Structure formats: structure tokens, C-alpha cells
Amino acid sequence: MPDRLDLDLSAPPAVPEAAIAAALDLLRGGWLHRYGETLGNSSDAALLEAEFAALTGARFCVGVNSCGSAMFLALLGSGVRPGDRVLTNGFTLSPVPGAIAHAGAEPVIVEITPDLVIDLDDLARQARASGARHLLLSHMRGHMVDMPALMRLCDELGVTVIEDCAHSMGASWAGRPAGRFGRAGCFSLQSYKHVNAGEGGLIVTDDEDLAARAVLASGSYMLFAQHRARPAEAAFARWKDTTPNFSLRLSNLAAALARPQLPLLAERARIWRDRYARLKAALSRVPGLRLPHRPVAEEHVPSSIQFLLPDLDAARFPRFLAACRTRGVYLKWFGAEQAEGYTSAPRHWRFMRDAATPPRTAAVLGQLCDMRIPLSLPAEACGDITAIVASELQAAQG
């Protein structure tokens, strides 16, 4: 076992040479903005939308400047109004309740299970108690609930589902892609996601009104015909004079970086699944460590791994984390007193009226560790990571 892991576990996916060349060509031409009177519908942004729509099997795709903007516009386009209540699961990141707040709505936090997915029983209780008619479902860290069961329940409750797929591009449930169960799916092109364009978001939907409203609200002016994966003009006619321009457009530069990476998704998924399987097999043998159950139907693309330490109390957690980080294994903890980096819990979201973590969710997050799996991680390093985690966990428990 090495004294220290000589790797950067936070490294994002490398930008391939084809994407760099595409970006340089774009820079030389100067067409960084996706719209122009003479540009037509062959901009990189328009082409990316069409390619991603085809990849996911969606009728429409709208590119925007972030996944947070994608969620906001999907909520807006599905009819969420100021003062509405919107359900969301308690294991997610602050941009999810932030998108709800951006729409002027109020988040209603739903409990999660020990396997890190939304609790369907609590979802039913919270929907009935709150009267909420929308669920912004976060596939947080790529964990997907039983989607057919969730959709049946939401249909019974009269609840519209919007999927946050920031961590699940390329994933599916029993062959059906993430983002294709609800009314819309929202994806991320941020550096730490499955496609690294620095920043950007994509909305996929079969709903022509939602798509038209998203195009208009993202800031197309009257150049919406320059979108390829768009609805017919009649949908825009219904909304063009009443939809505000929020200037949330996707840039051609981000699209140029993203397009050459779409064909790489399958190979990236293979690598991530291999490293996850190696880490899971090794970590599952560590005493005092529990991995969440992942159903066979969940075909995930795991760019990170999560595990729970049920026997480690809050006082000893910081010492364990610090020891692992000193040895090069950077773990994040969702039970910290203050939000840190890319972790937070409902009690940290004080922009909400009732910023509190539901009790069962708090118990799970208090035990939860999270580690990125970089594409560059060598297979042989999985054993070294596990050995360091096991050694420092034993020391912290002693």
C-alpha cells in the first residue's frame, strides 16, 4: 500500500483534440454567438441540439448556459408559477432548489432512502400534504430510483416530472435513457460532467410548448428558426409575444467543444463502469463501510462513487477525511456543519423558507462519503485507494 496516492481525483475529462480544433476554427471565424441574421441553422449550438436530440430519442432539444438554467426553463415551460410548491429529493445540490427558487416557487424536500434515491412513500405523503403538482427529480450522483414505479405514482398523484440529469448523461433504466421519463430532462456540460464544455446545459423534451417557451426564454430574439431540433412555427406563435427573454443562451464555443465528445460517451461509460466495479468490489470488503444498492435495471455512468460509514460519528468524521486527503484520497462528506465545495444538504439552503433536512435524509447524509472517479484513474489505483480508505477508517474508529 502506498503512503500517498499520486493522482488528482478531481481531474475533469480531458478535452479531445477534435474539440480543440473545432473551437479554434470557431474562434478564427468569430461566430461565438449562436444567432446571426445570416448564420442560418448550421451553428454549432443548433447542430449540438439536433445531435443530442437524436442521441436521446427526443423530439426537441434546447441548449442553454447551464443545467441550472435548463431546470429553471423546464419548470417555467411546464407551468410552474411564482408561489407554487415544487417537490425535490433531499439528496441533491443547491442548483436544484435554486432553479425552483428562480422560478419563484417553493421547494418541498422529500426524504431519501439509505440507497440515496427518493423515497416513494414520502413522495406520496408530501405531494398530498403540500398540493405540489411538479417534481424536480434529481438523479444525484447518477443514482436513479425505480423510474417506472415513480412515473406510475406521479401519474396517480397528478404530478409532472422534470428530470435533473446533470450526473446521468448516457445512463438509462432498463434501456430507456435518463431524461426521457418525465416531461423534460435537463443535462449538464460543466467540466466535471460526462461531456466537458466548461459550462452549458441541454433540455430534451417531446412537449412542443415547453420547447418553444425554452427557446424564447433562453434569448433567441425572433431567430428561433435557427434551431434545428425545434417545434413547428405554430408553437412559437402561441408564446413569442408573452415570453420574457432571460438571456440564458448556449454559446457556440461551448457547443463546439461538446459536439466531438458525444461520440466518446460510450467509451467513457465503459471506463467509468469498469473503475466503479473495481472500487465497489474492493470497498465492499472493508469492515464498517456500506455501499448503496444499485438495481440491475439501473444502467448508470458512474463518474463518482458513494459509500456510507454508519459506525463513524460526526466528531470522528473530520479526522478521517483529513487523514485520507493527506494521503491523496479526496473524499467529500455530506454531513458537515457547513456546505463545502460540491456538497450541501437542505439545512444549508437558507434561501428556502424552511431550510431543514428531513430526519431520515439527515441520518443518511451524516454517514455519506463521496469520491470522484476521473477518467484518467488507472485500474490498478483502485486497490490503493481502497487500502488507504480502509487503513484510515480503522484508525479513526480506534
**Model's pTM, two decimal places?**
0.97
| Pair 34, 250: CB distance under 8 Å | yes
The whole-number pLDDT of residue 271 equals 98
Give the separation between CA 345 and CA 235, rounded to whole angstroms.
39
Give the 3-state secondary structure percentages of the chain, helix then strand then coil, rounded to 5: 40, 15, 45
Give the separation between CA 272 and CA 24, rounded to whole angstroms.
29
Give the separation between CA 236 and CA 97, rounded to whole angstroms.
28
List the grid coordinates of 43.
451553428
Instruction: Give the DSSP H or E segment for 311.
Output: none
- Cβ density class 65-74: b for 16+ within 10 Å, e for less: bbbbbbbbbb
The whole-number pLDDT of residue 1 equals 67
For helices 381-397 and 265-283, the axis angle rounded to 10 degrees is 40
The whole-number pLDDT of residue 210 equals 98
The whole-number pLDDT of residue 2 equals 76
Give the separation between CA 196 and CA 192, rounded to whole angstroms.
7
Count CA atoms within 13 Å of residue 262 on its CB side.
18
What are the CA-CA distances from residue 211 to residues 51, 104, 186, 239, 247 (Å)?
A: 16, 20, 12, 11, 16
User: Residue 314 in 3-state DSSP?
Assistant: coil
Q: What is the mean pLDDT of each run of 10 residues along the chain (398 residues)?
A: 88 96 96 87 95 98 98 98 98 97 97 98 98 98 98 98 98 98 98 97 98 98 95 97 97 98 98 98 98 97 98 94 97 91 91 91 97 97 97 93
pLDDT tens, residue by residue, 161-194: 999 999 999 999 999 999 999 999 999 999 999 9
β strands within the chain, DSSP E: 60-64, 85-89, 106-110, 134-138, 160-164, 172-173, 176-177, 184-188, 201-205, 298-299, 304-308, 332-333, 368-372
Closest to 121 measured CA to CA, from 144, 86, 153: 153
* Ordered domains of the chain (ranges, CATH): 17-263 (3.40.640.10), 264-397 (3.90.1150.10)
Q: Using only the alpha carbons of the chain, give its radius of gyration.
A: 21
| Pair 265, 169: CB distance under 8 Å | yes
| Pair 266, 170: CB distance under 8 Å | yes
